[in-house]
Amino acid sequence: MTSVKIIIGGGFGVGKTTFVGSVSEITPLTTEAVMTSTSTEIDDLSVIPGKATTTVAMDFGRISLDRELILYLFGTPGQHRFWFMWDDLVKGAIGAVVLVDVRRVADSFAAVDYFEDSGVPFIVAINRFDDVRTHAVEDVRDALTIDPHVPVVTCDARDRASAKATLIALIDHAVAMRDQGMPISQ
């Protein structure tokens, strides 16, 4: 049996837990904790006022492609104070999806920088939210100063087919990077 590790990363409240949950064949393991009044003073909820919980360690999901190949999905915590866990979560990953909320593009810089620095192949996925103005992929690429070789796609983290298409785009990118001589396992 072969297993493949994929990271779902991004800033606070961009939809990482939702993404893992929408595509996982098992009920995902989540480490959601209720947000306290202390965290509301630290975390900006102005764009996501209904958010009541947050990931404090990771999310975990699984997709069996066949009897011999299994994808393991690990969603990272979004708040900077939990980023010490990222290094451990990323070990052995073939790639990462960086989810972006266009209402808070600046919150994505740290995740993009992290994956650029780590050498892990990644793609950027613009997560669609209801009643949020859409932006052209190239405009988001420019705003985040993403290298031209990094794919930027749109997705709806709530939709299984959309999340699957995003994972396929990541795997295609990771394989292409490997074919160009870059190892895809860190």
* Averaged pLDDT for residues 38-52: 56
- pLDDT by residue (tens digit) across 93-135? 999 999 999 988 888 999 999 999 998 999 999 999 877 778 8
- pLDDT by residue (tens digit) across 56-91? 557 899 999 888 899 999 999 876 766 777 888 899
**Which range (24-28, 50-54, 181-185) has the least confidence?**
50-54
What residue ranges in the chain does DSSP mark as E strands? Answer: 2-10, 29-34, 53-66, 69-75, 93-100, 122-127, 152-155
Asked if the model's pLDDT at residue 3 lies above 60, the reply is yes
pLDDT at 54: 59
The structural domains of the chain, ordered by start, are 2-179 (3.40.50.300)
pLDDT at 58: 76
C-alpha span between 76 and 73 (Å, rounded):
10
C-alpha span between 73 and 58 (Å, rounded):
10
Higher pLDDT, 118 or 184: 118
Tokens of 7: 């990271």
